[in-house]
Amino acid sequence: MSSTEATTATTTVAAPTVVPVALGKRGYDILIGPGLIDGAGEELARRFPGSRYAIITDETVAEHHLDRLTGSMTDAGLDFTTVELTAGEGSKSFPVFESAIDCVLSARLERGDLLIALGGGVIGDLVGFVAGVVRRGMRFVQMPTTLLAQVDSSVGGKTGINTRHGKNLVGVFHQPSLVLADTSALDTLAPRDFRAGYAEVAKYGLIDDPAFFAWLEANWRDVFSGGPGRIEAIATACRAKAHVVKIDEKETGPRALLNLGHTFGHALEAVTHYDGTRLVHGEGVAIGMALAHEFSVHMNLCSPDDAARVKAHLEAVGLPTRLQDVPGGVGTAEELMQAIYQDKKVKRGRLTFILTRGVGKSFIADDVAPDVVKAFLGEKLRG
């Protein structure tokens, strides 16, 4: 099925690729393929008979995909209400969180009913948090419409909102009951947003799968153009994340590896005040991964050639890799350090970074000396 066919209203949906997340009673399937939003009603009716739903989305996503979803659910005879929020990182806030809870309670959804997160990472994180606390825990379905959400934030049960102190500092672990990753939805993304999501795809190769990173170097154009490589890349990323979540659901050990590039990246988002016109999450991760490899070189852990290879690939696909690539600057080394200290991996004031011994050889480095990090950032800020 072509992407054009997949975006038309139809009940004929190609058989999706299925990636199971094996968490016992909390386990669920990730379905990956084109046209899944169009077939969502039938899928939901089969898996969750008798349930009612609240679809929570944002205005931008609603314009592209809400009619497809509501049409499918209406055809399947499902009872649902819809909630449209303001698009953007600003919605991951206490006021919007409270507003979304009020909408769910006003709709009189019961504990056994389901919320549907239709959107990117912001909607997925917010709705998952709402589901995690309303009536002490409701079920929810992730329907990620961005590449970043399909390969990362929709899988694994991390939910949350931001505060003035940093990103995702308030939230809960709450696993979805189903993930529907409609790859045809990615055709509506702006090129910048698709590139930003690709940073999270590349991350899985850089953590522990050098063969996948090499495959991406050879096939990234097919991923971007929507060829067969797109589904293969998304499925590979989801399998990698599902494996890590299975062995470390609450991020007490190896799951922290999934934060490769994120300590630097989250700090960059914080110092730019989550201004999506200057920097979006995936761009922060791209710069963060380049910095993590360069910092590993600085620490005599990694070959300069490996760091250069990572940087070259990210730049080839159009992603930023330097602090100077952020419009308006990122402040001082001291300001970046203050943001880094708010990272969730900090333990008793000690810094934890995901560093690397080469492509696909990442590891958790505890107790990294702050003065070494600050000196490295100062060097990078000077160019």
As annotated, the active-site residues are 136, 158, 200, 241, 251, 255, 259, 262, 266, 281
122 annotated ligand binder: yes
CB-based contact 145:40 (threshold 8 Å): no
262 annotated ligand binder: yes
326 annotated ligand binder: no
Distance of CA 51 to the CA centre of its chain: 27
Q: How many angstroms separate the CA atoms of 170 and 208, rounded?
A: 29
281 annotated ligand binder: yes
Q: How many CB atoms lie within 10 A of CB 143?
A: 29
380 annotated ligand binder: no
- Residue 288 identity: G
Q: How many angstroms separate the CA atoms of 272 and 293, rounded?
A: 22
Distance of CA 253 to the CA centre of its chain: 20
Q: How many angstroms separate the CA atoms of 64 and 375, rounded?
A: 46
CB-based contact 256:345 (threshold 8 Å): yes
Distance of CA 346 to the CA centre of its chain: 21
CB-based contact 118:56 (threshold 8 Å): yes
273 annotated ligand binder: no
Q: How many angstroms separate the CA atoms of 227 and 368, rounded?
A: 42
159 annotated ligand binder: no
158 annotated ligand binder: yes
Distance of CA 48 to the CA centre of its chain: 25
373 annotated ligand binder: no
Of 212, 210, 204, 206, give the one whose Cα is nearest residue 229: 212
Binding-site residue ranges for NAD(+): 121-125, 145-146, 158, 167
Task: Give the residue numbers of the binding site.
Answer: 121-125, 145-146, 158, 167, 200, 262, 281
List the binding residues for Zn(2+). Answer: 200, 262, 281
